[in-house]
Copies of this chain bind each other. A is one copy, B any other.
Amino acid sequence: MRSKPDISLEACTYSHVLEIISNKWTALAIYAMEDGEIRYGEMMRRIEGISQKMLTQTLKRLERDGIVNRKLTPAVPPTTEYSLTPLGESLLPLMTALKVWADQHLDTVKQARSSYDSLKS
């Protein structure tokens, strides 16, 4: 019996979720907002090593996906508050689950890597 392809990128829904949250800075941006509203500059200061360009780009994507709310106050100087939408907050349990797995198993992964690398050297 020969099988036809039954696993596709389009049909695999969790691949699409990963597209949303797997960008380099996305998880950190969400993490910065989990306690409520936060200003652009405050995020810059809290997230180590992020550039203005990447913060802007990351937030824009999240806003487009309906995960983040952008509240602009046009004054001089202007202020912008970012916060999670209900949709964004629904991601938090997922992130937590990832974190739990990480805390339990990341050491094992690191060990597997180093033993694999030492064998192949």
Report which A residues bind B (CB closer than 8 A): 2-9, 12-18, 20-22, 24, 27-28, 31-32, 42, 45-49, 63-67, 87, 90-91, 93-95, 97-99, 101-106, 108-109, 111-113, 116-117
Whether the Cβ atoms of A9 and B64 lie closer than 8 Å is: no
Whether the Cβ atoms of B16 and A102 lie closer than 8 Å is: yes
Partner of A99 from the list B14, B90, B113 (CB cut-off 8 Å) is B14
Partner of A46 from the list B7, B65, B103 (CB cut-off 8 Å) is B7
How many identical chains are in the complex? 2
Interface of A is mostly: helix
Least CB separation from A15: chain B residue: B27
**Are A28 and B49 CB-contacts (below 8 A) given A65-B109, A97-B94?**
no
Whether the Cβ atoms of B22 and A7 lie closer than 8 Å is: no
* Most chain B C-beta atoms within 10 Å of own C-beta, residue among A3, A7, A47, A90: A7
Whether the Cβ atoms of B46 and A113 lie closer than 8 Å is: no
Whether the Cβ atoms of A17 and B66 lie closer than 8 Å is: no
22 residue pairs from A and B, CB less than 8 Å apart: A2-B45, A2-B46, A3-B45, A5-B45, A7-B32, A9-B24, A12-B31, A13-B102, A15-B24, A16-B102, A18-B18, A22-B22, A64-B112, A65-B109, A66-B112, A66-B116, A87-B105, A90-B101, A90-B105, A94-B97, A94-B98, A97-B97
